[in-house]
A and B are shown apart, each in its own frame.
Chain A
Amino acid sequence: MSKLLQTLVNSIALGSLYALTALGYTLVYGVLRFINFAHSDVFTVGAWVSFSIATAFGWASTGSPWFAMPLVLLLAMALCAALGIMIERLAYRPLRKAPRLNVLITAIGVSLFLQNVGQLQWVFGTQPQSMPPVLEDSSVAELSGVHIRMVDLVVVSLTIVLLGLLEFLIYRTKLGRAMRAVSFDEKTASLMGINANRIVSITFGIGSALAAAGGMFFALKYGSIKQSADATWVLLGLKAFVAAVVGGIGNVRGAVVGALLIAFVEMFGAAYFSPHMRDFYVFVILIVVLLVRPSGLFGSSTVEKV
């Protein structure tokens, strides 16, 4: 019983990490109809940037004040938002009218670029680093053998807060309405006086900021940060992507549900079957979903027009 509950707690924590990243995929797909392969690398950069900031403040050795975590989080989110906007401006905007295959290849190029530049000695380097403890890591609660870590608690609650903000932004503000309009039909939205390019930039910014938050939480939760081209990141990004697809890409709430689902399958599979096959389960889910219901659980299937 305690194993079951513990796995449940772990999967909710992991699921919220996936959700933060999956939202970026879904948001970008919503407005531009393409999969931003470089998104998982923005996640990686988020983790590394938060590490660099925390190290620059000297919190690695001395311990950290109470405002350390929010400060690092906000800075990392701002920097990654800028990075995301820059990527969109330089790499994707020139290809707005190009075939989708070209955009896809460009996205892979951007992803490779971020990975490998991050590996350079004067950027982040190739050594794995350990994240400075900007958040006290202790077991805050223990209920009949189930440990709830402080990090998990903070991650889950902050994720809920961020998701709430995103929900508010999309469905309750003018900007959100503009985003939905562009997502629905870019041309008509432009005719109605919406600056579509600006909306796309903002969407990229929001998605990247959420990915940065995910990256930082990931670094906090697991303590160590691997080099930026490590396969772990690619896999992590892919799983978040799978979450977005399972939930129905383009659907914000679906992405969260998909992320939780993926995390549940992964964690329960690892706990009750074989821990080495975690990635296997996720990709099998992806393939099954794509074959059975390509539009995802909550996606609306679109009729292709010629």
Chain B
Amino acid sequence: MSDPTRPLAARIAGLTPSVFGAVLRSVWPIVVGFIVALLLQAALAPMLGPFYAKLLLDIGIAIVLAVSLNIVNGFAGQFSLGHAGFMMVGGYAAALITYYGSIKLGWIEPGAYGVEVHGGFMGPGDLLFLFACVFGGVVAALAGLVVGLPSLRLRGDYLAIVTLGFGEIVRVLVQQSSDVLDPKAAAEVGWLTASKHLGGPLGFTGTPTYVSPTPWLEDAAGNQTGHAGIFFTFIFVTLVLIVAFRLKISTHGRALLAVRENEVAAEAVGVNTSRAKVVAFVTAAFFAGIGGALFAHEVGTTLNPKELGFQKSIDLVIMVVIAGMGSISGVVYAATMLTILPELLRDSAEYRMPIYALALIVVMIVRPQGLFGIQEIWELRPRLRFLKGAVIGAAIGAASWLLFGWVLKVIHDDASKFLLALRSFISALSAIGKLVLLGGLVAVAIFAVMMVAGAVFEKLRPKKLPTATAIAREASSERAGADLANAEDSPKAEASDDKDGGR
């Protein structure tokens, strides 16, 4: 591959990919994401019906949030407990834009309290919503800058506390705001006044529900039946995934990982640790803000300070930590599973958090790097043993969870009535079987999809380019070989050239 007659600079230049190839490689994930989002919106959502389509939305938003948290917690190793705070900043900023913006643009039904969605697919309403999402992201990113700066002085526990404090401060400030103005009153005030009316402790009610699971198609009479919420959500999912993957394989991402592993060593090899950390915070906060904006406009959720408190941050942290800090696909998997599972297991909802907490402790003790560690799911392929273990472990875990919940329920409900307990055991068994089957199927299906997607990704990924160090080393060894050849005579030099060529 290396032609020793060419000078080093020319060889390095030869390694940079062609413009066309580079463009193709940059564009295909966007195209794929676009198509997938379109398919989910147009084909899958109508098939699933409103309930599961809403679940799809929840999953999308959870992925945006968890993957963005992964950038700061997983890549940079800066443990942030205030992700919901960024979400709240972004969500409220976006709601401010869409609610008061719609009123100022005169898109309100007379007499209605809330603001309805406006315009068709990619119509003015959607454009306002998209602008609001980006605006929310930008405002959150500014907040990320504010929180990122103290992170330069703090590490570990203290940083966790400060981010937590940040989340609480945002919550308290939002709670201090006045009630949401009704459209008539809102039309008369300026933006500054409007921004003081965020609903207080009751939450920002009346935001238009742009993120709804219903298809965007018009009905026979030509009325708008819904909005392309799933499409937009998954466009943002695509965006955050691309950014995260690109970051991970780039110099910046390597710098973040270096900071995570050993800050002092990273600094010693020339990583600008301060910059790396702030970049991680700002990027994560930006996408958290977008996640918050999506959340603010989702059907069936209320944007209130209680919903986006400490608990929400913890939910996200659990997704990242259990999946493996640094594994993007792992975090996507965890976000998907941890959004679906509570829906499937509504009966034992009260046991959800104790189980999560136990899982967190056990994972930390048994497999401190999380289930996938820093690897992506498809990178685990050669290690089927581990995969088998994980599947068996998951099955045992699910079964024991269900059994545990059922036993507790029986003990609680009718400890004395043994016969009744037996009967409910039999009926519960069938229910449990159904749930395990369903949960397992969903888990395996998602896993399989991700494996396939990952394999495709691997194929399309740029080939590993030799680093500058490797080229330099090669060049120096060649020079050594050439010196040797000059000193003795031809046959040995031939051999050393062959060896270089084979490398």
- For chain A residues 262-306, which have a beta carbon within 8 Å of chain B? 274, 276-277, 279-280, 283-284, 286-287, 290-291, 294, 306
Q: Are B156 and A101 in contact (CB under 8 A)?
A: yes
Question: Contact partner of A279 among B162, B172, B357, B361, CB < 8 A?
Answer: B172
B449 to chain A, nearest CB (A): 29
Shortest Cβ gap from A296 to chain B (Å) = 11
B-contact bits for A103-123, CB 8 A (1 contact / 0 none): 011101111110111011110
Pairwise interchain contact B168-A279, C-beta atoms closer than 8 A: yes
Q: A34-B157, A290-B158 are in contact. Are A231 and B150 (CB under 8 A)?
A: no
The smallest beta-carbon distance between A246 and chain B, in angstroms, is: 12
In the complex the two chains form, what is the Cα distance from A238 to B376 in whole Å? 36
A28 to B164, CA, bound (A): 20
Q: B361 — nearest CB in chain A belongs to which residue?
A: A109
Tell which of B156, B310, B358, B364 has the most Cβ of chain A within 10 Å: B364
Query: With A104-B160, A294-B153 known to touch, is A283 a contact of B357 (CB < 8 Å)?
Result: no
Q: Which stretch of B122-130, B133-141, B239-247, B348-356 is in the interface?
A: B348-356
Decide: B357 and A113 in contact? CB cutoff 8 A: yes
CB-CB contacts of B408-442 with A at 8 A, as 1s and 0s?
Answer: 10011000000000000000000000000000000
- Tell me which of A91, A108, A231, A287 contacts B309 (CB under 8 A): A231
- The reply to whether the CB of B161 lies closer than 8 angstroms to some CB of chain A is yes
| Contact among B77, B164, B309 with A101 in the assembled complex (CB-CB below 8 Å) | B77
User: How many contacting A-B pairs (Cβ < 8 A)?
Assistant: 121
B176 contacts the other chain (Cβ, under 8 Å)?
A: yes
Min Cβ gap B246→A in Å is 25
Contacts of A109 in B (CB 8 A): 357-358, 360-361, 364
B396 interfacial by beta-carbon distance below 8 Å: no
Interface pair B357/A286, CB less than 8 Å apart: no
CB distance from B123 to the nearest CB of A (A): 41
Asked whether A241 is an interface residue with its Cβ less than 8 Å from the other chain, the reply is yes
Nearest opposing residue in chain A for B158, CB measure: A290
Asked whether B178 is an interface residue with its Cβ less than 8 Å from the other chain, the reply is no
Contact indicator A294/B154 (Cβ below 8 Å): yes
Within 8 A of A (CB), among B325-375: 350-351, 353-354, 356-358, 360-361, 364-365, 368
- Asked if B169 CB lies within 8 Å of chain A CBs, one says yes
Query: Which B residues are in CB contact (< 8 Å) with A1?
Result: none
- Residues of chain A within 8 A (CB-CB) of B79 are 101, 104-105
Query: Please, how many residues of chain B have a CB less than 8 angstroms from a CB on the other chain?
Result: 43
Tell me if B317 counts as interface (CB < 8 A to partner A): yes
Are A120 and B157 neighbours in the complex by a CB distance under 8 Å?
no
Evaluate contact between B161 and A276: CB separation under 8 angstroms: no
How many chain A residues touch B (CB < 8 A): the figure is 46
CB contacts (< 8 Å) of B411 on chain A: these are 122
A188 at the A/B interface (Cβ < 8 Å)? Answer: no
**B157: chain A residues within 8 A (beta carbon):** 34-35, 100, 104
What residues on A are CB-neighbors of B161 within 8 Å?
35, 238, 241, 245, 286, 290
A111 vs B314: C-alpha distance when bound (angstroms): 11
Asked if A143 CB lies within 8 Å of chain B CBs, one says no
* B224 close to A (CB within 8 Å): no
Q: A231 contacts which chain B residues (CB < 8 A)?
A: 306, 309-310
Q: A74 at the A/B interface (Cβ < 8 Å)?
A: no
- Find A91's partner among B356, B361, B412 (CB 8 Å cutoff): B361
In the complex with contacts A101-B77, A113-B357, A122-B408, A106-B364 CB distance below 8 A = yes
Complex CA–CA separation, A274 to B321 (angstroms): 38
Please name all residues of chain B whose beta carbon is closer than 8 Å to the beta carbon of A35 when the two chains form the complex: 157, 160-161
Main secondary structure on A side of the interface with B: helix
A122-B408, A245-B161, A306-B264 known; A115 and B176 CB under 8 Å? no
B residues near A112, Cβ cutoff 8 Å: 314, 353-354, 356-357, 360
Bound-state Cα–Cα, A231 to B306, Å: 9
Q: Kindly state whether residue A17 has any CB partner on chain B within 8 Å.
A: no
A100 pairs with B156, CB closer than 8 A: yes
CB under 8 Å from chain A, chain B span 150-196: 150, 153-154, 156-158, 160-162, 164-166, 168-169, 172-173, 175-176
Q: How far is the CA of A245 from the CA of B160 in the complex (A)?
A: 13
Among candidates A94, A102, A111, A287, residue contacting B162 with C-beta atoms closer than 8 Å: A287
Most B CB atoms within 10 A — which of A101, A115, A280? A101
Contact check: which of A34, A106, A235, A284 meets B365 at CB < 8 Å?
Answer: A106
Report the bound CA distance from A276 to B305 in whole Å.
Answer: 14
A85 sits at the interface (CB 8 A): no
**From A116, A235, A290, contact of B354 by CB (8 A):** A116
- Asked if A235 and B168 sit within 8 Å, CB to CB, the answer is yes
A110 with B357: CB separation less than 8 A:
yes
B-side contacts of A291, CB under 8 Å? 150, 153
Specify which chain A residues have a CB less than 8 angstroms from the CB of B353 in the assembled complex.
Answer: 112, 115-116, 119, 229
Contact A286 B162 (CB under 8 A): yes
Q: Are A277 and B172 in contact (CB under 8 A)?
A: yes
* B74 nearest CB across to chain A (Å): 11
Q: Is the CB of B153 within 8 A of A113?
A: no
- Whether A191 sits at the interface, judged by CB under 8 Å, is no
Report chain A residues within 8 Å CB of B321.
105
Does chain B have a CB within 8 A of A54? no
Given contact pairs A106-B360, A290-B162, A280 touches B173 in the complex (Cβ within 8 A): yes
Task: Determine the chain B residues whose CB is within 8 A of the CB of A294 once the complex forms.
Answer: 153-154, 158
B371 to A: closest C-beta gap in Å: 14
Min distance, Cβ B344 to any Cβ of chain A, angstroms: 19
Interface assignment of A165: CB less than 8 Å from any CB of chain B: no
Asked, given contacts A235-B168, A286-B162, whether A119 binds B350 with beta carbons under 8 Å apart, the answer is: yes
Residue of chain B at shortest CB distance from A112: B357
B150 touches A283 (CB 8 A): no
Q: How far is the CA of A283 from the CA of B153 in the complex (A)?
A: 17
Complex: A110 Cα to B357 Cα, angstroms: 7
Q: How far is the CA of A99 from the CA of B364 in the complex (A)?
A: 10
User: In chain B, what residue has the closest Cβ to A119?
Assistant: B350
Select which of B81, B309, B350 is within 8 A of A120 by beta carbon: B350
Determine if A284 and B169 form an interchain contact, defined as CB atoms under 8 angstroms apart. yes
Give chain A interface residues in 47-105, CB to chain B under 8 Å: 91, 94-95, 98-102, 104-105
Q: Does A27 contact B (CB under 8 A)?
A: no
Instruction: Name B residues whose Cβ lies closer than 8 Å to a Cβ of A.
Output: 77, 79, 81, 150, 153-154, 156-158, 160-162, 164-166, 168-169, 172-173, 175-176, 264, 306, 309-310, 314, 317, 321, 350-351, 353-354, 356-358, 360-361, 364-365, 368, 408, 411-412
- A residues at B contact (CB < 8 Å): 34-35, 91, 94-95, 98-102, 104-106, 108-113, 115-117, 119-122, 229, 231, 234-235, 238, 241, 245, 274, 276-277, 279-280, 283-284, 286-287, 290-291, 294, 306
24 CB-based A-B contacts, threshold 8 Å: A34-B157, A35-B160, A101-B79, A105-B364, A108-B81, A112-B356, A113-B358, A116-B357, A119-B350, A120-B350, A120-B408, A122-B411, A122-B412, A231-B310, A238-B165, A241-B161, A283-B165, A283-B169, A284-B169, A287-B162, A290-B158, A290-B162, A291-B153, A306-B264
7 tightest A-B contacts by CB? A109-B360, A113-B357, A116-B353, A112-B357, A283-B165, A109-B361, A35-B157
Give 5 A-B pairs besides A108-B81, A119-B350, A290-B158 with Cβ atoms closer than 8 angstroms.
Answer: A95-B365, A120-B350, A277-B172, A290-B150, A291-B150
